[in-house]
Structure formats: C-alpha cells, structure tokens
C-alpha cells in the first residue's frame, strides 16, 4: 500500500530539498546535488554520524547509540504526525511521594509532533481542546490563539543516503531537566529540597524502537537536602520511561458525553458552533471496539471485536493471586455482552522471555496489571487516551501489595459480628481472593472509562442488604464503581447474605451506553437520539442513576455508604461495631507478638464509626440531586425532608455526641497506649461537629427556610436541638465528665470562631450572611442558661468548666466591642 504524504509533511519535504525533484516535478534527479549542498551547509554525511559502531534498533524511529550519544533517525513521512508521549516512572526510591508514587506511575501524557524548522527539528506539544473547521475563517484565529509550545529542539546532524530520513541527537531531551517529562513534581521538589539535577549521574539506559512506538529509559539523579529516606545520602535517583506512540490516522468516532451517565471525559470547545458562543462539550474516554461481523451484530448476535482489550499480569504477581486478578478483569465481559460483544476483554499471564523477549510493563503496546511491592494501601486504574477522539490507547492497573491489609482489617471490623470467616487476621483465601477480584474489577472499570458512581448504593433499600436472596443476586449496590466494599448492614442473625461487593445492573447499562456500536450513525451527532432514548428508558429508576459524590451535598451520593436510609444504615453498622470491640483482643492477638495489630484494627474501627457519623450528617441541610435534561419532567435538586433531617440530628445527639462507652474498652486501651483515649474521642466528635456546623451547610438551611418556611428544618432548629443534647448535664444539673467537657468546649469554640471573623475583610459572604447573627444569638442564649444553672452541682471541675465556657463566650462576643 502506498502511504499518502500529508500536505504539511510534503511542504516540509520540499523545503528541506530532500528526495528526488524528478519524482515530483518531472525534471532531472537532483538528489546528488542536494547531498552536496547539505555538506557545504555544514551537515555531515550519514556515515560520519551513524558510524559502523552504532547500536541501532529499527522501528517508528530508528534509534542509534553511538558511544554515549543517542540519535533518532526520523522518517520524513513521520514529520507532523500526531504522537502520544507518555512519561512514566520505571524505578523509584523507597518512600518516594509518601508511597503513592511507584514504578509504573504515569506523570504526564501529551500529544507531540516532530516538525522541521530550517536546520532544526522541533518537538511541539499539541492541544486539541479548541477546535474549528479548517475551511472556516475563524480557523486562523483558533490557531493564532492556541500557539503550540516547543518542548525540545535539536539541529539536524545528517540525512540518510536517500534523504528520506533526518538524523538528530536527542540526549539533551532525556539527560537535561525537561519538566514536562520528568517524575519530580514541583511539590515533591519542595518537599525534598531538591537543589539541582546532577548530569554526571543522569544518563540514557536504553532505547527500543517498535513499529508504532519508541521506548526510552533514562536515569535522572538529583541532589536533595531531604530525600525520602536518610540513607539516600542527599540523592534522589529515579528511572523514567518515555513512551512515544504513533496515533492512528483512522480516528475512532467520538461519543459525546451525557452527565446522566458517568464517564471520564475530554473537554472540547467548538468555535464553528451555530450557538452564540464557543460550543463546549465533552467526549467520553473509551476503547475502540468494532464488531468483526457487523451484519451479525446488527441481527443481535454476540460478536467478538476486531481488537479485544487485553490485560497482562505483571510478572511480579504472586501465583496464588493470579486467578483472582484474571477473574476481576474478565468479569467485565458480562457487561460487554450487554453491548453486543463477546470476549471483549481478555486477561493473560505475563509472557515468558521465549514467548516475547521484548515484553515490558512500561511499553505502551501492553496494558498491564502492575503488582507493586509497597506498604501503600491502595489500587488505581489510570489509562492513556487519544485527546483527539477519547480513544483509550493503553492502561496500567496498579495494585499495591499492602492493600490486602486494608481489606483484611475492614472485613474483620465490618463483618466480624456476622460471620466467623472475618474473625481472624488470616482471612481465608477464598474470601480475600474474592475481595481482590472485586478491587481489580473496580479499577478495570476506571480503565474502561467509568468514574466512581457514589450514588449507586442508595438505590437499594437498606433492609434489602439483610436479605440473602437479594444480596446474592444483586450485590451490595447497582455499581461496582461505588465505594461499598463490605456489607456492614447485615446483622448476626441474617444467614446467607453476601458481604463482598460485585458488579451490578448499572455497570452493564453504562457499558452498553458507552460501547454499543451504532453502525447506522456516521457522526457523534447522529448517535445522540438513540443514546438519549436509552437514558430516558431508565429515567426514574434509581438503579440507573449516577452521582460522583464529590460535591458533598447529596446524602444519597456518599463514599462507603450503603442503602437508601443513612440513619438506619448507620444504626445497623454501629450495632455491629459494638459487638466487634469486645472481641478484638482475641481476634488480633498472636502468641509472642505485641499488640500492634490490635492497635491498628482498633484505630481503623474508630474511623468506621466516624464514617457512619458523617453519612448521617450529610442529611442535615442536604439536597438530593437527580441529573436530568430540560426535556425531562421534575426538578434536579430537592431539599432533604424536614423529618429526615430531624431524625439525623436525633441520631447524632444520641450516638455521636455522647460518651462512647462501647468504644472505650479499657481492656483494649490499656494494651495499646498509656493515655490518649480522651483526645481520640475529642478528635472524632469535634470533627463531626465541625462538619455539621459547616458554613455551606448552614447557608443551605437558611435558604431552604426562606423558600419552604415551616416545611424546612431550620438552622435555629439545629442549634437548639444540639444545645439541648450537648449540654444536657446543664439542664439536669449533673456532673460533666471529661469527654463531655471537651465536646461542649468544641461547640462553643466553633461558634466563637465564626464570631471572630466579624472584622475579616476576606470573607464578605460570611459577614453578610445570617450565620453570624445565628451564632451570636446562640452564644448569648447559652451564656444565660449557664449563668442560671451553673450552681447545680458541687463537682469542682464542672463548676470551673461552666465558668470557662462563660469566659470563652464573653471573649467571642467582645469581638464587636
């Protein structure tokens, strides 16, 4: 097949005087004369630069090592082509980035073009965010106002013998400080007090060329005053891997995003829009799947894709976990079948050296589930995307070894009251393997283009999570992309329930929406009617709703929450925690070892309690969000009903803002620390109270009262109920213990902090809101109540405490004096 030379590439070819003029214009062959001119212009011959000693590798670009210099031999037809440059860390020092930056971490991806400028080759970084038709008059303005930066430039050293390729030295790109492709961010540079790059200890390790990509490994060494670990002797060295992949000329047809279905997206601005503005829209990120047999696909038969999605396991993956990793990857085939594809995603063991001697996890030709030997407790699912269309080119799932520890602990804490399998730190392989499988499936979901859907879990009635029949069929949530890891709602008497999350109906729906091939649509716009129809068919069914949970406003869209009733769910969860605590010593102890595991699990249990509390807090001043478009009936935002908000506050007063005797188990506390229990509880309660009295939350409550009047749960209601509950000892004239004294001080301090902002100039919105009058009135009321009732007990510390609160209130009220 004859390759068509792009117009820009042809212009560059002619400007360089390369190739045969006879072949272009029909005149005599001028190649010899051109070669002579190049010599007189100071260029060396090819053999002078690329000597017989060169170590060469042919591919997209031919790479040549000559002594310690690296040269790229770039075919002229590759100039002005779009290439994706992906920068990854291939080797990293211990503790780098706090353990969250590891071998395999991507630090940047950008589209580049290698372009000729007189006697130089420039590498330009290309953006596709702002678009315009090249035939449109505004195209020139779009170009002028989006001028592409030059990442790197190198003078031309030579041409090959027939002038079809140009040779440049590229050592400076990989051995110098080029911020756009290195692994040292500005924040880490400050954190480790990096002084400079030491070029004497920075070098190119390897260069490998393949038909569609080039892979470069290079070592970067920095002088640093405070490196990640002390034994690094003032030095940070890391191995970087630069992958440059040729983007396809045949572009995938993009699919326009819809905010009602969750997808990772790419922003676009169309300056040719007929709208009276630049038309902003988003494209979803997805792999290119095309049916092998389109006619069979049209008939509704399951058809294999022309190119399936293939994931390899990291060679470092322990053998016993490999089956679970593979299952987690291939679980998505069930969802792809909804989109009409079979065998769309395949998991493979790492190839042996004999099978594929060039296999490397950093190579963009391979998507890999990386197994990272790290104490970090996490897993991530990033991907590499063609910004022109949203096509996912490659992805590396990262599993950190110590993530096993997270799930071991969580299973004990949240399911230990209900199932015997969870009552050990040596979780049975079948259980921990199933958890790992679902973590991998979750991360693969990200790599397929799906973001978190934190709203999914609220679709299931809370009590359904106590049903064996329901949970075994539908799991814990309609989407594995939710954070809903363990069924903490089920009670000890609920036999046969599922405790571990699984893929659900929303996942199948979202994959069908994003990956279903629509052969009759020849443009993204032509697909829209059908895509909208699929959404409207599910409208009103909470199983198919999406919410990312990041706004922090919708109580139905929260991480780690289960069920549609956060108060009831937290009551169930708390009931289980109360049964777990007395058993923790037995479940975590090991003869001959200290109580480190007990301390760790107990600490994480307190975090669970904090989470259950925050799930309830979100209802107060909360607003439900149901994503809709203008052709759908009903509103998008609705305030949480008054009664639901009151129930939430009642729960908080009773469970979160009382002394947690169930948590203060002295048998545990006396084994894990000499002191600190009071401070631990104070921190948890103060955090919850700060969350509840958040400025944005109070403003929503004030606005809701203005609109709905008596139907609203008001900020005044909230403050009165909190005061009655938190200061119950005052009204009962009882002694106040140390835990409650801390909580009461926190209440006064939070209100006082608002009043201290009275003279601030940088927060005009607060100064003009009703929050300051609300807090001032609350402090004045509380002061009167304390003065009236403070003499009700003869406990000295309680008396001092009441006097102290009055002094704090006076100091706060004195701000305006």
Q: Confirm if 71 and 167 have CB atoms less than 8 A apart.
A: yes
In a domain, 312, yes or no: yes
Backbone angles phi, psi at 534, to 5 degrees: -65, -35
The mean-pLDDT minimum among 411-415, 423-427, 469-473, 810-814 falls in 810-814
pLDDT 10s digits, 152-167: 999 999 999 899 999 9
Mean pLDDT of 293-320: 95
Shared-domain flag, residues 329 and 185: no
The mean-pLDDT minimum among 169-183, 261-275, 295-309 falls in 261-275
CA dist., res. 479 & res. 684, Å (int): 30
Shared-domain flag, residues 438 and 552: yes
579 burial via Cβ count (<10 Å: 0-12, 13-18, 19+):
middle
The predicted model scores a pTM of: 0.87
415 pLDDT more than 80: yes
In a domain, 601, yes or no: no
Please, what is the average pLDDT of the chain? Answer: 89
Domain boundary among 231, 246, 261: 246
CA dist., res. 218 & res. 241, Å (int): 7
Shared-domain flag, residues 210 and 315: no
- DSSP codes of every residue in 295-328: HHHHTT--B-BSS-EEEEEPTTS-GGGHHHHHHH
CA dist., res. 368 & res. 396, Å (int): 5
Shared-domain flag, residues 235 and 305: no
Shared-domain flag, residues 209 and 330: no
Res 278: pLDDT: 56
Shared-domain flag, residues 308 and 175: no
Opening angle at CA 675, ends 674 and 677, nearest 5? 135
CA dist., res. 760 & res. 767, Å (int): 8
Alpha-carbon distances, residue 46 vs 77, 163, 358, 685, 705 (angstroms): 18, 10, 28, 74, 80
In a domain, 474, yes or no: yes
710 burial via Cβ count (<10 Å: 0-12, 13-18, 19+):
exposed
**Spatial CB neighbours of 534, under 8 Å, sequence gap ≥ 6:** 512, 513
| Count of positions (residues) in the chain | 817
Shared-domain flag, residues 458 and 554: yes
Shared-domain flag, residues 140 and 227: yes
**Beta pairing partners, 307:** none
**Spatial CB neighbours of 512, under 8 Å, sequence gap ≥ 6:** 335, 338, 339, 534
130 pLDDT more than 70: no
Q: Work out the percent of the chain whose per-residue pLDDT is above 70.
A: 90
Type and span of the H or E element at 126: strand 120-126
Count other Cβ atoms within 10 Å, centred on residue 451: 18
Mean pLDDT of 421-441: 95
In a domain, 54, yes or no: yes
Backbone angles phi, psi at 477, to 5 degrees: -160, 155
Count other Cβ atoms within 10 Å, centred on residue 402: 14
In a domain, 266, yes or no: no
In a domain, 622, yes or no: no
Domain boundary among 564, 580, 614: 564
Domain boundary among 516, 533, 564: 564
Res 93: pLDDT: 83
In a domain, 577, yes or no: no
- Distance spanning both ends of the chain, measured CA to CA: 86
pLDDT 10s digits, 707-735: 999 999 999 999 999 999 999 999 998 99
Looking up tokens 């000892």, which residue turns up? 729
Res 465: pLDDT: 98
Shared-domain flag, residues 346 and 464: yes
Most confidently modeled range among 179-193, 353-367, 509-523: 509-523
Alpha-carbon distances, residue 431 vs 421, 436, 501, 573 (angstroms): 8, 9, 12, 20
Structural Rg of the chain based on CA atoms = 32
Shared-domain flag, residues 459 and 537: yes
Backbone angles phi, psi at 37, to 5 degrees: -65, -35
Shared-domain flag, residues 233 and 128: yes
104 burial via Cβ count (<10 Å: 0-12, 13-18, 19+):
buried
Three-class HEC string of 63-119: EEEECCEEEEEEEHHHCCCCEEEEEEEEECCCCHHHHCCCCCCEEEEEEEEEEEECC
Shared-domain flag, residues 237 and 112: yes
Mean pLDDT of 635-649: 97
User: In terms of residue numbers, what domain contains 771?
Assistant: 657-816
Give the sheet arrangement for strand 130-131, strand by strand: 130-131, 265-270, 279-284
**Beta pairing partners, 379:** 399
Number of domain units in the chain? 3
Looking up tokens 């790290």, which residue turns up? 374
In a domain, 352, yes or no: yes
Res 373: pLDDT: 75
Judged by DSSP in three states, 655 sits in helix
Mean pLDDT of 763-787: 90
Res 766: pLDDT: 80
């Amino acid at each position: 097949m004859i390759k068509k030379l792009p117009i820009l590439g042809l212009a560059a070819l002619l400007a360089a005087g390369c190739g045969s003029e006879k072949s272009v214009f029909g005149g005599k062959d001028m190649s010899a004369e051109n070669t002579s001119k190049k010599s007189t212009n100071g260029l060396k011959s090819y053999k002078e630069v690329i000597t017989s000693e060169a170590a060469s590798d042919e591919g997209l670009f031919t790479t040549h090592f000559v002594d310690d210099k690296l040269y790229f031999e770039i075919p002229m037809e590759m100039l002005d082509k779009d290439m994706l440059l992906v920068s990854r860390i291939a080797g990293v020092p211990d503790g780098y980035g706090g353990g969250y930056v590891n071998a395999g971490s991507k630090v940047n991806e950008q589209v580049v073009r290698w372009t000729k400028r007189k006697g130089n080759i420039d590498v330009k970084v290309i953006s596709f965010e702002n678009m315009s038709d090249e035939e449109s008059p505004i195209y020139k303005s779009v170009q002028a106002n989006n001028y592409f930066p030059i990442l790197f430039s190198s003078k031309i050293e030579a041409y090959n013998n027939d002038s079809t390729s140009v040779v440049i030295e590229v050592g400076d790109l990989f051995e110098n400080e080029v911020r756009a492709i290195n692994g040292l961010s500005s924040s880490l540079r400050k954190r480790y007090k990096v002084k400079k790059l030491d070029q004497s200890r920075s070098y190119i390790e390897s260069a490998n060329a393949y038909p569609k990509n080039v892979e470069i490994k290079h070592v970067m060494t920095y002088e640093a005053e405070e490196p990640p670990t002390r034994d690094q002797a003032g030095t940070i060295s890391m191995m970087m891997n630069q992958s440059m992949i040729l983007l396809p000329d045949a572009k995938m047809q993009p699919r326009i995003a819809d905010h009602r279905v969750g997808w990772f997206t790419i922003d676009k601005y169309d300056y040719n829009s007929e709208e009276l503005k630049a038309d902003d829209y988003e494209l979803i990120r997805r792999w290119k799947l095309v049916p092998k047999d389109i006619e069979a696909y049209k008939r509704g038969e399951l058809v294999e894709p022309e190119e399936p999605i293939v994931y390899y396991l990291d060679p470092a993956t322990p053998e016993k976990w490999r089956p679970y990793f593979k299952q987690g990857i291939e679980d998505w085939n069930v969802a792809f079948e909804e989109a009409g594809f079979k065998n769309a995603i395949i998991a493979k063991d790492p190839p042996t050296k004999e099978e594929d001697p060039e296999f490397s996890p950093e190579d963009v030709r391979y998507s890999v589930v990386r197994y990272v030997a790290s104490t970090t407790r996490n897993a991530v699912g990033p991907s590499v995307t063609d910004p022109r269309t949203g096509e996912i080119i490659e992805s590396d799932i990262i599993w950190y070894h110590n993530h096993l520890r997270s799930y071991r602990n969580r299973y004990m804490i949240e399911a230990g009251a209900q199932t015997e399998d969870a009552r050990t730190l040596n979780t049975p392989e079948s259980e921990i393997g199933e958890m790992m499988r679902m973590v991998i499936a979750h991360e693969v979901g990200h790599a397929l283009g799906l973001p978190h859907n934190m709203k999914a879990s609220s679709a299931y009635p809370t009590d359904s999570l106590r049903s064996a029949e329901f949970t075994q069929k539908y799991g814990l949530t309609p989407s594995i992309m939710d954070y809903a890891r363990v069924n903490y709602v089920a009670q000890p008497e609920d036999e046969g329930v599922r405790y571990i999350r699984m893929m659900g109906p929303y996942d199948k729906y979202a994959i069908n929406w994003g990956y279903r091939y629509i052969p009759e649509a020849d443009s993204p716009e032509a697909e829209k009617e059908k895509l909208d129809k699929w959404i409207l068919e599910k409208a009103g069914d909470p199983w198919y709703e999406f919410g990312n949970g990041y706004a922090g406003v919708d109580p139905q869209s929260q991480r780690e929450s289960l069920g549609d009733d956060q108060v009831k769910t937290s009551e169930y969860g708390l009931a289980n925690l109360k049964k777990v605590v007395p058993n923790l010593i037995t479940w975590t102890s090991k003869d001959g070892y200290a109580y480190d595991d007990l301390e760790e699990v107990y600490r994480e249990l307190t975090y669970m309690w904090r989470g259950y509390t925050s799930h309830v807090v979100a209802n107060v001043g909360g607003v439900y969000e149901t994503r809709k478009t203008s052709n759908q009936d009903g509103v998008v935002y609705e305030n949480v009903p008054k009664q639901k908000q009151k129930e939430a506050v009642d729960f908080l007063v009773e469970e979160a803002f009382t002394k947690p005797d169930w948590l203060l188990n002295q048998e545990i506390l006396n084994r894990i620390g000499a002191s600190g229990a009071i401070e631990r509880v104070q921190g948890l309660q103060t955090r919850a109270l700060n969350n509840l009295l958040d400025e944005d939350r109070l403003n929503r409550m004030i606005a809701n009262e203005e609109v709905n009047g008596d139907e609203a749960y008001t900020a005044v209601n909230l403050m009165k109920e909190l005061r009655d509950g938190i200061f119950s000892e005052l009204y009962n004239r009882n002694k106040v213990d140390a835990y409650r004294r801390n909580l009461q001080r926190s209440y006064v301090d939070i209100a006082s902090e608002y009043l201290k902002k009275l003279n601030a100039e940088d927060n005009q919105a607060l100064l003009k809101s009703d929050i300051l009058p609300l807090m001032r009135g609350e402090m004045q009321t509380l002061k009167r109540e304390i003065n009236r009732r403070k003499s009700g007990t003869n406990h000295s510390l309680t008396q001092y405490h009441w006097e102290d609160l009055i002094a704090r209130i006076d100091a706060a009220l004195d701000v305006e004096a």
